[in-house]
């Protein structure tokens, strides 16, 4: 039996969640939490202090997603390419992500958040894996916002892993390669039940995807913010959700709207 969720604490400004009932809300929001290192360096601090400051931003944005009723929030915490950073920074990111999940697990659980993890298990420290597993297990019956914590995650790796699973089934005679479609591939992603990404946000000023949710974001609306991640909060998220409500999504279709002026 899961317990009734409690509301997250209010935003420091006292501002409450806007009424989204008249605009379309994205089911799945993906965030590249970028700009931590530059934010810290610009303040005369080491890069790792930027990661540290990102924790409060993450918790506030999750609170905002819960309040707005976003179904899935995917956050990019460590990419398959981030191993190229200095050993000290990689070590910090391992330890820090593990500790954030460990110390925030009960709070997220109390808000009704279901935590899932996306990524490759190889190379992740055992103690980090253990904390992720604990959080997933503890929150698995929650029915609120899903927090998809992407750690040692790469979009290409996820698609390659799906291709590998399909190839193994085909080699074992359990799947006919002639019948493979996009839907087949989607079934072998890390979390096939999650809906496609509707809104893809990247903080930190760069206009790139950096290998995040390549398959799932194929029709996402892209929003690039100059704001560094440590300065983001739920108000930032709500602004993004309002912007999304004004987008016209076409998914390849077209509408004739001849201008009356001609
Ligand atoms: C994003 O911030 C966090 C991770 C990649 C773990 P960065 O560390 O990339 O910060 P910048 O982009 O160098 O400022
Ligand atoms: C993307 O940011 C990865 C995460 C936020 C975890 P990066 O900072 O690693 O991306 P690039 O290297 O600037 O493309
Ligand atoms: Mg970066």
pLDDT digits (tens, 9 = 90+) for 47-73: 999 999 999 999 999 999 999 999 999
Which phi and psi angles does 223 have, rounded to 5°?
-135, 115
Rounded mean pLDDT, 4-14: 97
Cα 119–chain centre separation: 12
- State residue 2's pLDDT score: 61
For ligand 3, the distance from its centroid to the CA atom of residue 236, given in whole angstroms, is 19
For ligand 3, the distance from its centroid to the CA atom of residue 81, given in whole angstroms, is 11
Which ligand 2 atom is nearest residue 210's CA? 14
Tokens for 27?
């089911």
SS3 138: helix
Q: Which residues of 79-106 are buried (b: 16+ CB within 10 A; e: fewer)?
A: bbebeeeeeebeebbbebbbebbbebbe
Name the residue of 35, 211, 227 whose CB sits within 8 Å of the most ligand 1 atoms, as the mutation to test its pocket. Answer: 35
- State residue 22's pLDDT score: 87
Residues 6+ apart with CB under 8 A from 200: 29, 30, 32, 209, 212, 213, 217, 220, 221, 222, 223
With a cut of 90, say whether residue 136 has pLDDT above it.
Answer: yes
CA distance 124 to 141: 25
pLDDT > 70: what percent of the chain?
Answer: 99
| pTM (2 d.p.) | 0.97
CA distance 128 to 101: 9
The dihedral over CA atoms of 50, 54, 88, 149, expressed in degrees to the nearest 10, equals: -160
Give yes or no for residue 37 CB within 6 A of ligand 1.
yes
Rounded mean pLDDT, 97-111: 98
pLDDT digits (tens, 9 = 90+) for 169-203: 999 999 999 999 999 999 999 999 999 999 999 99
Which residues hold their Cβ within 5 A of ligand 3, which is an ion?
34
| Axis crossing angle, helix 87-110 with helix 47-68, rounded to the nearest 10 | 20
Enzyme catalytic residues = 34, 82
Which ligand 1 atom is nearest residue 32's CA? 1
For residue 209, which ligand has an atom nearest its CA?
A: 2
Determine contact, residues 227/203, Cβ cutoff 8 Å.
Answer: yes
Which ligand 2 atom is nearest residue 78's CA? 6
Determine contact, residues 87/127, Cβ cutoff 8 Å.
Answer: no
Pocket (CB within 6 angstroms of ligand 2): 32-34, 76-79, 82, 206, 208, 210
């Amino acid at each position: 039996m899961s317990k009734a969720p409690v509301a997250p604490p209010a935003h420091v400004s006292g501002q409450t969640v806007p009424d989204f009932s008249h605009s379309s809300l994205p089911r799945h929001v993906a965030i590249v939490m970028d700009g931590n290192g530059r934010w810290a360096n610009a303040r005369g601090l080491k890069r790792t202090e930027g990661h540290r400051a990102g924790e409060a931003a993450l918790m506030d944005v999750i609170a905002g997603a819960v309040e707005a009723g976003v179904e899935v929030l995917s956050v990019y915490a460590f990419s398959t390419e981030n191993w190229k950073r200095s050993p000290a920074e990689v070590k910090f990111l391992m330890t820090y992500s593990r500790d954030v999940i460990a110390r925030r697990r009960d709070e997220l659980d109390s808000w009704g958040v279901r935590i899932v993890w996306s990524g490759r298990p190889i190379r992740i420290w055992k103690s980090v894996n253990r904390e992720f597993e604990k959080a997933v297990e503890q929150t698995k019956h929650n029915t609120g916002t899903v927090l998809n914590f992407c750690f040692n995650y790469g979009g290409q790796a996820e698609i390659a892993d799906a291709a590998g699973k399909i190839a193994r089934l085909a080699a074992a005679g359990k799947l006919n390669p002639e019948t493979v479609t996009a839907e087949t591939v989607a079934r072998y992603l890390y979390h096939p039940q999650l809906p496609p990404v509707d809104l893809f946000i990247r903080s930190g000023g760069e206009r790139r995807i950096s290998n995040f949710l390549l398959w799932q974001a194929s029709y996402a609306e892209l929003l690039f913010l100059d704001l560094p991640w440590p300065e983001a909060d739920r108000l930032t998220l709500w602004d993004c959700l309002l912007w999304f409500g004004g987008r016209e999504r076409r998914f390849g279709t077209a509408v004739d709207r001849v201008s009356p002026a001609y």
